[in-house]
Structure 1
Amino acid sequence: MQGPVTTSGDGIYDRELDKNAANFSQMTPLSFIERAAAVYPGRPAVVYGEVRRNWAQTYDRVRRLASALSKRGIGKGDTVAVIAANIPEMFECHFAVPMVGAVLNAINTRLDAEAIAFILNHGEALLLIVDPEFSEVVERAVHIAGRPIEVIDIIDPSFEGGDRLGAATYDELLADGNADFKWERPADEWDAISLNYTSGTTGDPKGVVYHHRGAYLNAIGNILTWNMANHPVYLWTLPMFHCNGWCFPWTIAAAAGVSVCLRAVRVEPIYELIKSEKVTHFCGAPIVLNLIAHAPDELKTGIDHKVSVMTAGAAPPASVIQAMEELGFDVTHTYGLTETYGPAVVCAWHDEWNGLEISEKARLKARQGVRYSVLDGLMVADPETLEPVPSDGETMGEIFFRGNNVMRGYLKNPSSSAKAFSGGWFHSGDLAVCHPDGYIEIKDRSKDIIISGGENISSIEVEGVLYRHPAVMEAAIVARPDEKWGETPCAFVGLKPGATVTEQELIAFCRANMAHFKAPKTVVFGPLPKTSTGKIQKYVLREKAKAL
């Protein structure tokens, strides 16, 4: 017997079952700190030197700051910029600023004054909160910006130096605020929560806009991906300005964990805090892992608990992962971009891999992997047709993303947004293969692939071989123009302390471990230029290679 025919939108489940205040609320990561303070008020939330605050105290400070911002007329859609190291005030701003509907713009602390001025003007920042360590460059940036911007000075007793720039301090702002401030969820979870700028290596940086829904979901995604139990102790080796610390300020609140703040990434305090605070988790680019793995032996002793490490930001050589695993650190490899709220792909581990040799485990972990549980779509496809490439581990294509943890778009840049979202997918610009098991593996950025005599050479593959040499601490491969071949691989290499090796020896090592045409033809020794998050700046090296 055929039932009644209904039209779309008028079925039995579409009648008298509407959204209401009891069954629907807009997603926002601000709810995480409210819950942490209510459920675990006395548990530690923030550690920084002598500073130790619990969740009740941290929530109190966050609401005071939000109240003070509101009193100053900061509200929905306004931009509040912050330039600070990984200190408690930076953590608090991730909650207080969006509590008044404003948008947090955490600015890269390593930028020059001109770049900071561009960001302040492009994002139309009304207020700027400044760490004393960066007062000199900020003073120049505000002058270059050429418009009134209220500056608030953070006073950090543990830091010596820096000048006062504003009329008020962060502590005075808190004193002016009300701890009972009644903040509200966003009217729409699509509302902007933060603004992050890309590196701008080929022109002005682009402003990537995040929304509350994406920040909420990726914060939860981090917990699911990392199997984080309640109350993790998280060490801030990753800058909070970088993709909002991969959404981890909100993740730590969701898990009612501890933020162990760290002003500068140095190997001695990293090991010291891991031991003294019983750190359970930290994140870092492969270069940070390399630093930790090659620390003096006396620092490495005394860790008697499990430490989980999440790495992303650049494809990690298997040798670096292996070195960390041999020290007892459990490494999880993730991948993402500023445009995907940080990590959105993970090399999800299978128990049956546990019995493999450590070198083979490291090789598997070096793959980027599969989509986060909160990401809807991930594929490697032809960049023109968007047809997925065969899952053969050999055919290269571009990586594409789709889902709620993809940015809203680029601020004031509709043409770049349209290009990035062409065909209904976000175009990453990263080239990869897809293995038979569905795991993707990056072979290069599209701009980093080397075409020598018509053959494609993956810079990541050559770097992986170089990292296996016992004398090599860090390595990067870029294209060097060549009259005969068009381009040839040029290696920039930093050596371990006390190590020596010649250019000819390294080239011979590469030729013995890979196809001869892929081996570098040139080796340049010396320190490698890096971004604030530890990524090697290949655009700088490309210019050096051209000038050779």
Structure 2
Amino acid sequence: MAGGEERDIDDLPKNTANYTALTPLWFLDRAALVHPNRTSLVHGPVRFTWAETYRRCRCLASALASRSIGPGSTVAVIAPNIPAIYEAHFGVPMAGAVVNCVNIRLNAPTVAFLLDHSAAEVVMVDQEYFSLAEEALKIIADKKKGAFRPPLLVVIGDETCDPKSLQIALRKGAIEYEKFLETGDPEFAWKPPKDEWQSIALGYTSGTTSSPKGVVLHHRGAYLMALSNPLIWTMNEGAIYLWTLPMFHCNGWCFTWTLAALCATSICLRQVSAKAIYSAIAHQGVTHFCAAPVVLNSVVNAPPSDIILPLPRTVRVMTAGAAPPPSVLAAMSNIGFQITHTYGLSETYGPSTVCTWKPEWSNLPPNERSRLHARQGVRYHALEHLDVVDPKTMAPVPADGTTLGEIVMRGNAVMKGYLKNPKANQEAFENGWYHSGDLGVKHPDNYIEVKDRAKDIIISGGENISSLEVESALYLHPAVLEVSVVARADEQWGESPCAFVTPKDGVDRTNEAALAEDIMRFCREKLPAYWVPKSVFFGPLPKTATGKIKKHELRAKAKQMGPVKKSRL
């Protein structure tokens, strides 16, 4: 176009001065510039500043790039919450590659599936989990025989672990992480992605009923969700964040990148316990942490010797995962924690809706406040559309708080798709929405509330029963520490609720039949008769690494028990 010719208002071109792809990697560059000497990470006696973290991440990126790891490559990380897994969230994508953080609680065959499916070219593994990675790689090698090219193994040493495991890994050919960083350039000239749609992370669903699905996330979504987090949570620059949530779970709900944006400080917690949480709050200045409801339950029911109260400051807690019982939210609030309740999935970068607190709720009776607070709420800033719809017609359900539908999402906070799984993608994105598989209602104030997973709904005599609502009632019983409710076959009604209960410490279990009857009597006072569990069993509940109860295992147990017999009057 000739110079001097005027352009239309919408016809001005992009150029390198006014456009760049969105990526959270710039947050680290800025943190090192603005607060180079502020503490970025603390892990026991190990402390890094933001300048040091930036240099270490550039070294990691450089070391990977020098070994031809870049766009199209996947780097797997098998580690608890330690500095190296945090650094991988920047160093790996700085090389152009995709970071895949693997759940450390998985067994070797499942890890083998993940490493093979993702075609991981590098495996970074904490020394404690080296044998897990080794066994998984052997499974792949045996399956593929001579066609398997083993990935580069980098073992992460940790002085809090037994040094023997590190020595074993080194003798077997792994490169020690710090030595690997030394091969990189601390001034590595990394470049942002040319396209913000480029993949930044890969994470796998639990795969409880089939093979795990690989959830692919892009730079744009990670950037937007990282900035949505502090807006949702009243999280300010310089916050001190305790890593109770695993970084391998949905990339730590994108807080790995949020903390760099805020020049905040990470307190790494290798093993989560109520005692460690109270201690970090008292002695390390913690202001924020994220946790599944099961962790909150452990905090409020911790032994007195582990509890340090009153809290020295307001500590903000974000919870998501299985819907938290109102009683747990109330108990946390009563001891001084400020709770933000969110909801989301791996496919939506972690939490993507929030039960935004309304000032008028503060004047309500405690039980009503807790009930409102337990809802899943409204969409994040980065999620453009959220609704509850009839899954057959896709018509929005009425905002009456009772009509059940499927929760669907649409927008920048939705994944690119599932890796190498076109059938699952077609199902997930049918009719132009992401289908969560969660059933819920929409209230008159447009706040949504999850009622159950579609697979967890109990159908008794043709009527739907929400296992989550039954669980909420059971949590009010003074003997109940944890509970999960699943469907059990019933000769008369088809299905009926079956409760698996972990009693609180000190509860007399010498007569479990009497305790079960007391729990059922308690439920009869609070629930419709057909919602009351017809069977109650006691013991520890099976959980995933992120604290979610493995309902599929409980359903299998209920199936083994056979149907509830028809009552004979």
TM-aligned CA deviation for residue 116 of structure 1: 0.3
> TM-score if structure 2 supplies the norm length?
0.93
Kept in 1, the 8 Å contact 2:74–2:122? The answer is yes
Partner of 2:233: 226
The C-alpha deviation readout for 1:174-211, integer Å capped at 9, x for no partner, is: 11111000000001000000000000001110000000
Measured in 2, the distance between the counterparts of 1:61 and 1:424 equals 41
Q: Deviations over 1:357-384 (max 9, x none)?
A: 3322211110000000111000000011
| Letter of the structure 1 residue corresponding to residue 8 of structure 2 | I
- Choose from 528, 548, 568 the match for 1:515: 528
Any conservation in 2 of the 1:462–1:477 contact (CA below 8 Å)?
yes
Three-state SS of the structure 2 residue aligned to 1:401 is: strand
**2:565 equivalent in structure 1:** none
Tell me what 2:88 maps to: 93
Residue pair 2:355, 2:378 contacting (<8 A) in 1 also? yes
- Stretch of structure 1 that moved more, 438-447 or 345-354: 345-354
- Shift in Å, 1:166: 3.7
What is the Cα deviation at residue 457 of structure 1? Answer: 0.4
- Aligned equivalents of 2:60 and 2:504: distance in 1? 46
> Which of 9, 14, 23 is residue 10 of structure 2 equivalent to?
14
Distance in 2 of aligned mates of 1:503 and 1:302: 36
Cα distance in 2, alignment partners of residues 190 and 385 from structure 1:
31
Which of residues 136, 148, 152 is equivalent to 2:154?
Answer: 152
Contact 1:369/1:439 (8 A) holds in 2: yes
Corresponding residue for residue 21 of structure 2: 26
State the alpha-carbon separation in 2 of the partners of residues 532 and 166 from structure 1. 29
SS of equivalent to 1:282: strand
Q: Which amino acid aligns with 2:322?
A: A
Asked if the contact 2:205–2:346 (Cα under 8 Å) also holds between the matched residues in 1, the reply is yes
Residue 143 to residue 399, structure 1, CA distance change in 2 (3 Å) = same
State the distance in 1 between where 2:312 and 2:279 align.
13
> Alignment partner for residue 143 of structure 1, among 125, 138, 145?
138
Q: For residue 216 of structure 2, what is the amino acid of its counterpart?
A: V
Cα RMSD over matched residues? Answer: 1.1
Q: Deviation string for 1:289-329 (max 9, x for gaps)? A: 00011112342325210100000011000001011001100
1:247 matches 2:260? no
Question: What residue is the counterpart of 1:64 in the other structure?
Answer: 59
Return the alpha-carbon distance in structure 1 between the equivalents of residues 315 and 553 of structure 2.
Answer: 34
TM-score of the superposed pair, with normalisation by structure 1:
0.97
Aligned letter for 2:464?
N
* 2:340 aligned partner: 332
Alignment match, 2:564: none
How many residue pairs were aligned? 538
Letter in 2 for 1:91: Y
SS of 2:112's equivalent in the other structure is: helix
Number of the residue aligned with 1:494: 502
1:422 matched to 2:406: no
Determine whether 1:277 maps to 2:284. yes
Partner of 1:411: 419
Q: What residue is the counterpart of 2:197 in the other structure?
A: 190
- Return the letter of the residue paired with 2:91: A
In the TM superposition, residue 353 of structure 1 has moved relative to its aligned partner by: 1.4
| Contact persistence 2:279–2:308 (CA under 8 A) | no
1:482 Cα offset (Å): 1.3
1:493 is matched by which residue type in structure 2? V
State the secondary structure of the residue aligned to 1:544: helix
Q: In the alignment, what sits opposite 1:75?
A: 70
1:292 aligns with 2:287: no
Residue in 1 aligned with 2:3? none
Aligned equivalents of 1:18, 1:44: Cα separation in 2 = 41
Q: Percent identity between the aligned chains?
A: 55
Paired letter, 2:217 = Y
Shift of 1:12: 2.0
Q: CA deviation at 1:355?
A: 2.1
Q: Name the structure 2 match of 1:175.
A: 182
Residue number in structure 2 paired with 1:542: 555
Aligned equivalent of 2:360 = 352
SS at match of 2:252: helix
Q: 1:455 corresponds to which residue?
A: 463
2:363 counterpart SS class: coil
Residue pair 2:310, 2:335 contacting (<8 A) in 1 also = no
1:158 is matched by which residue type in structure 2?
Answer: T
What letter is aligned with 1:154?
A: I
Question: Is the aligned partner of 1:205 residue 2:218?
Answer: no
Could you say which residue in structure 1 is the equivalent of 2:566?
none
Distance 1:11 1:329 in 2: 55
1:305 to 313, 317, 340: 313
Deviation per residue, 1:79-126 (Å, 9 max, x gap): 000000000000000000000110001001010000000000100000
2:121 maps to 126
Q: In 2, distance between residues paired with 1:182 and 1:510?
A: 63
Matched AA of 1:511: R
Counting only pairs closer than 5 Å after superposition, residues 353-392 of structure 1 correspond to structure 2 as 353-392=361-400
1:26 partner SS:
coil
Please report how far the alpha carbon of residue 169 of structure 1 lies from its aligned counterpart in structure 2 after TM superposition.
Answer: 0.7
479-488 or 444-453: which moved more?
A: 479-488
Letter in 2 for 1:247: C
Which structure 1 residue ranges, 5 or more long, are not aligned? 1-9
Mapped partners of 2:42, 2:282: distance in 1: 14
Q: CA separation in 2, counterparts of 1:533 and 1:198?
A: 12
Contact 1:223–1:251, Cα closer than 8 Å, also in 2: yes
Query: Is residue 282–residue 308 contact of structure 2 (8 Å, CA) maintained in 1?
Result: no
Q: Secondary structure at the match of 2:9?
A: helix
